[in-house]
Amino acid sequence: MTAAPLDPTTQAVSAGRGAGDPGDALSVPVTLASVYRSGGGPGAVGYGREGNPTWTALEDVLAALEGGTAHVFSSGMGAIEAVLDLLPLGAPVAVARDAYIGTRARLDDLAERGRVVVRPVDIADTGATLAACEGASLLWIESPTNPLMAIADLPALARGARELGVRTVADNTFATPLLTRPLDLGVDVVVHSVTKFLAGHSDVLLGATVAADPALAEELRARRTLLGSVPGPMEAWLALRGVRTLGPRLERAQASAGELARRLERHPGVTRVRYPGLPDDPGHARAAAQMRGFGAMLAFEVAGGGPAADGVCANVRLAIHATSLGGVETTLERRNEHPGEEAVPAGLVRVSVGCEHVEDLWADLAQALAAPA
Ligand X SMILES: *Cc1c(COP(=O)(O)O)cnc(C)c1O
Catalytic residue ranges? 49, 100, 171, 196
Give all strands of the β-sheet with 320-321 in edge-to-edge order.
Answer: 270-274, 297-302, 348-352, 331-334, 320-321
Which range, of 2-10, 28-36, 171-179, 343-351, touches ligand X by CB under 6 A?
Answer: 171-179
Binding residues among 138-157 for ligand X as defined by CB under 6 A: 146
How many Å separate Cα 118 from the centre of its chain?
21
Residue number, 126 or 173, with CB nearest to ligand X:
173
Least Å distance between CB 77 and ligand X?
4
Which residue's Cβ has the minimum distance to ligand X?
Answer: 76
DSSP state of 47: B
334-364 b/e with 16+ CB inside 10 Å = b?
bbbeeeebeebbbbbbbbbbbbbebeebbeb
Residue number, 298 or 368, with CB nearest to ligand X:
298
Cα 96 from Cα 142, distance rounded (Å)? 7
Work out whether 173 is an interface residue with ligand X (CB under 6 A): yes
Residue number, 79 or 312, with CB nearest to ligand X:
79
Which range, of 33-41, 166-174, 289-297, 348-356, touches ligand X by CB under 6 A?
Answer: 166-174
Which range, of 2-10, 46-54, 70-78, 285-293, touches ligand X by CB under 6 A?
Answer: 70-78
Work out whether 171 is an interface residue with ligand X (CB under 6 A): yes
Work out whether 59 is an interface residue with ligand X (CB under 6 A): no
Least Å distance between CB 238 and ligand X?
13
Work out whether 193 is an interface residue with ligand X (CB under 6 A): yes
Cα 325 from Cα 195, distance rounded (Å)? 9
Q: How many residues can be counted in the chain?
A: 373
Contact between 110 and 116 under an 8 Å Cβ cutoff? The reply is yes
Among 137, 143, 168, 195, binds ligand X (CB under 6 A): 195
Least Å distance between CB 211 and ligand X?
17
Least Å distance between CB 326 and ligand X?
8
E-state strands within the chain: 69-73, 91-96, 116-121, 138-142, 167-171, 189-193, 207-211, 270-274, 297-302, 320-321, 331-334, 348-352
Residue number, 116 or 191, with CB nearest to ligand X:
191
Among 11, 31, 75, 352, binds ligand X (CB under 6 A): 75
DSSP state of 35: B
Residue number, 174 or 300, with CB nearest to ligand X:
174
Among 16, 51, 76, 276, binds ligand X (CB under 6 A): 76
In this structure, what is the dihedral angle of CA atoms 334, 337, 341, 347, given to the nearest 10 degrees? 50
DSSP β-bridge partners for residue 118? 93
Work out whether 77 is an interface residue with ligand X (CB under 6 A): yes
Binding residues among 196-225 for ligand X as defined by CB under 6 A: 196, 205, 207
Angle between helices 246-265 and 358-370 (to 10 degrees): 40
DSSP β-bridge partners for residue 119? 94
Which range, of 12-20, 36-44, 168-176, 298-306, touches ligand X by CB under 6 A?
Answer: 168-176
Neighbours of 266 (CB within 10 A): 8
- Interface residues toward ligand X, by CB under 6 A: 75-77, 100, 102, 146, 171, 173-174, 193, 195-196, 205, 207
